[in-house]
Amino acid sequence: MIEITNYCAISGSRISVNGQTDFVQDGDVLFTDFIKAAYRNYKVDYPKFFKMDNLSKLAFIAAEVLLKDTGFLTRYQPEDIGMLFQNGSSSLDSDLKHAASIKDKTNYFPSPAVFVYTLPNIMIGELCIRHKIKGENTLFISPKFDAGFLYDIIDNSFTTGKIQSCLGGWIECGNDNYHAFLFLAEKKIDKGLGKNVIFTVENLTTLYHQGIN
Amino acid sequence: MGNSLKSEKMPEVYIAGNNMMTSLGFTTDENVENLKNDISGIKLCTDKNLYPTPFWASPLSTERLNDSFAGIADIALFTRFEKMQILSLTEALKNSKVDVCDTKTLIILSSTKGNIDLLEENRFNPKRVYLWETAKRLAEFFGNSNQPVVISNACISGVLAIITGMRLIKAGKYENVIVTGGDILSEFVVSGFQSFQSLSQGPCQPFDAKRTGLNIGEGCGTIILTSNSSLADDSCLIRVTGGHSSNDANHISGPSRTGDGLYLAIKGAMSEAGILPENLDYVSAHGTATAYNDEMEAKALALAGLNHVPVNSLKSYFGHTLGAAGIIESVVCLYSLKQNILFNTKGYQEHGVSVDLNIIKKLTPAPINSCLKMASGFGGCNAAVVFQKKIVS
C-alpha cells in the first residue's frame, strides 16, 4: 500500500503543513515579498534561491517546508525518488519577461538567466539539485489539478518498480494567483510515520482543496 | 519476482503508425529519402522577424505548410503550431488502423513552447498560448473525447511522451495512444539560445572536434502506439519495450560532467526492456553538437557499456526540434528497424569527445533488431526509450 506521509500547501500568503497553518502573512502581500519572507522565516541558507523565477521559488519553498524533519531523503537512494508534477500555465510568468526583453529592436536584451526559466521543468531541476534527487521526473501541463491522472502515473511507477518514493504535486504561479500543493508518497513501512493518509484519488483531491486559501 | 510476474501479464505495446514533418519533408518517406541522399535542411535564415542578424536553422516551408493545410481546414483559423500538429496527426492516421475517435484512444502532446508566438500576435484568443488549450483543440479537431495529456519537459519532452504512452497502455488505461509533438521556430526561442551563445555558426557537427553548437529546427512528429496487435503496423512488428527518465541533480543549464544522470535513464530503460548492452544494435543519440552535451552523452554510453554500439545524431539533418526531437528521431529509429539501415552523422569528421564511440559515418545496411533513443535537456533531465522488433518464435 502507498501512503501520503506528508503534504504541504502554499496559497494566498499562507503555508500549511499536513493541514496546519505553519506560516502566514496578513493583508495584501505581493507574491515576491511573501516568498522572500517565507525564505527568511524558515532560515533557509541557499543564495541560488534569489536567482530563481517565481515558479521555481514557489516550488523551492514548498519542498523545503515539506521535507523538513521528515527524514524522507535519508530513506531512499537518489535514483529511487521520483518527481511527478503538474502545472497549468507552464512558465508563462517567465515567458512574458523574456518576450518583453526582445520586444523592442533598439533595446534588445535577451538574457540566459531569464530564458532558462522559460522551461517549466527547470523548477524540478532546481529541487533535484537542492535535494540530490535523481529519479524519474516529468512535468505534465493540465488545465487544473488532475488527481486521477497523477494518481495513475505515480501508482504505475510504484507498481512497476520505477520509483520507491515520490515527491509529487501541483505548482502554479501566474500573475496574482499562485498555488503549490506538494506531497510525499511512500510505500507503507512497519514503523509508522504518524497519521498517514492512504494514497487514493479521493484523498489527493481532498488534500489539494484543503490547501487553497 | 513479483514484478516480473506482473510484467508478464502486461500488454505489449506496438507501433501502429508514424509521421515526421521537418524542413526535409512532410512525410516519413520524404524525410528518409533526403537522409539517404545526405541532404540537410539547415540553412542560413535572414528573416529579421526571427532574429536581428542571420543565423543557421532548419525551418519548415510556410508556403508548403499553408498549401498542405488548406486541403484540411481554413488556414486563417489555426496558428502555425496547430497547423503543424494537425497535419502530422492527419498523415500518421492515414497510414494507421487505429481509430482516433475510439474512447480507448488517448492523445499525448509534447512541446516545449507550443503557441509561444501568440505572445506577440493578436489575431488569436490569448488563451491559446496555454499548452492544454492547444491539446484540447487538437483532440476536438479529430473528434477524440478523452482529456489529452500534455508534457513540457524541455528537450526530453518527446521521449517522455513515448514513455508515458507506453506506460498508460501497459497499465491498461488505454488501448491506443497517439503521441504527437512539435515546436515552431520563433524569435522567442532563437533569441534565447543566442543569449546562451549555443547556436552554431554553420550547420552543426555532432560529436566532431570542431563543433560549436546547435541549430534550432522546426518540426513535428507523431507515433501511434497500441496494445492491439491487429492494429499494429504489420509491415514490421515493432514494440516499445522500456523507458526511463532521470535527473543529473547538478546544474539547470549545463549537463552533468560525468554522464551519470543519463546513464541512470539508459540503465532503467534497458533493464525494463530486458536487453543486455551486447545485444543492442543501434543508439540514436541526442547529439545536439554543443561541446558539453556530446561529451556527456559519450561518457554515459561508456558507463552503460554501449560505446561500441553504432551511434548517430540526426540533428545535422533537421536541427534540434526541441519538444518534437524525441518523437521525430524515434520515427527515424523505426525506419532503421524496418529497413535494416543506419543513417550517418552528417558533419562528423574528426572525433571530438573523450570516449571512443562507433559513430556511423556512412549509410550502412545492417540487421537492426533493437534500438535505444536517448535525450537530455535543460533542468538536468534525461530520458531513454527502447524499441525492438517482435521476434516471432
What percent of chain A shows pLDDT beyond 70? 95
Average of per-residue pLDDT across B265-271 = 98
Residues of A in contact with B247 (CB under 8 A): 83, 124-125, 128, 133-135, 137
Cα(B245)–Cα(B381) distance, rounded to whole angstroms? 7
Whether B355 has a pLDDT exceeding 50, the answer reads: yes
Give tens-digit pLDDT for A30-70.
Answer: 999 999 999 999 999 999 999 999 999 999 999 999 999 99
**Where are the domains positioned within chain B?**
11-231, 238-389
Q: Identify which of A137, A142, A152 has the shortest CB distance to residue B247.
A: A137
In the predicted structure, residue B3 carries a pLDDT above the cut 50: no
Asked if B149's CB is within 8 angstroms of A149's CB, the reply is yes
Per-residue pLDDT reduced to its tens digit, B148-159: 999 999 999 999
Tell whether A108 lies on the interface with B, counting CB pairs under 8 A: yes
Q: Kindly state the percentage of chain A with pLDDT values over 90.
A: 91
Phi, psi of A135 (to 5 degrees): -80, -170
Contact A138 B151 (CB under 8 A): yes
Confidence band of B9 (pLDDT split at 50, 70, 90):
confident
Instruction: Please tell me if residue A149 touches chain B, with a CB cutoff of 8 Å.
Output: yes
Tell me whether A162 touches chain B (CB under 8 Å). yes
CB contact under 8 A, B194 and A105: no
B8 confidence band (pLDDT: 50, 70, 90): low
Q: Does B120 touch chain A (CB under 8 A)?
A: yes
Residue A117: count other Cβ atoms within 10 Å of its Cβ.
27
Q: B86 CA to chain A: closest CA distance, Å?
A: 20
Q: What is the predicted pLDDT for the residue at B7?
A: 46
Strand ranges in B237-363 using DSSP code E only, listed in sequence order: 238-247, 283-284, 310-312, 341-342, 358-359
| Domain B238-389 superfamily per CATH | Thiolase/Chalcone synthase (3.40.47.10)
Cβ within 8 Å of A, B 276-335: none
Residue A190 clears pLDDT 80, i.e. is over it: no
> pLDDT of A115-174, one tens digit each?
999 999 999 999 999 999 999 999 999 999 999 999 999 999 999 999 999 999 999 998
Nearest CA in chain B to A111: B195
Q: Which residues pair with B226 in a beta bridge?
A: B14, B176
Q: Is residue B391's pLDDT more than 90?
A: no
pLDDT at A174: 81
Does the beta-carbon distance from A134 to B191 stay under 8 Å?
no
* B25 contacts chain A (CB < 8 A): no
**Interface pTM, i.e. ipTM:** 0.96
Average the pLDDT over B352-363 and give the result: 98
Helix-, strand-, coil-residue percentages of chain A, each rounded to 5: 40, 25, 35
For range B251-274, the mean pLDDT: 96
CATH (residue range A2-91+120-210): 3.40.47.10
Interface size A-B, in CB pairs within 8 Å, comes to 159
Question: Which of B131, B192, B196 minimises the CB distance to A98?
Answer: B192
Residue B392: pLDDT band (50, 70, 90) is low
Percent of chain B with pLDDT over 90: 95
Measured CA to CA, the distance from residue B258 to residue B256 in angstroms comes to 5
CB contact under 8 A, A160 and B377: no
Closest Cα to residue B155, out of B181, B180, B125, B118? B181
Query: CB–CB of A122 and B194 under 8 A?
Result: no
Look over chain B and give the mean of its residue pLDDT values, rounded to a whole number.
96
Q: What is the DSSP letter of B25?
A: B
- What is the model's pLDDT at position B44? 98
- If you write DSSP's letter for every residue of A75-126 in order, what string do you get? HS-GGGEEEEEEESSTTHHHHHHHHHHTT-TTS----HHHHGGGSTTHHHHH
- Per CATH, domain B11-231 is 1.10.287.3510: no
Strands A137-141 and B370-377: unpaired
CA distance B381 to B140: 31
Distance from the Cα of A74 to chain B's closest Cα (Å) equals 16
Amino acid (1-letter code) at residue B232: A
> Where exactly are the structural domains of chain A?
2-91+120-210
A137 touches chain B (CB under 8 A): yes
DSSP A171: E
CB contact (8 A) between residue A139 and residue B153: yes
pLDDT band at B390 (very low <50, low <70, confident <90, very high): confident
Nearest to A137 among B6, B129, B381 (CB): B381
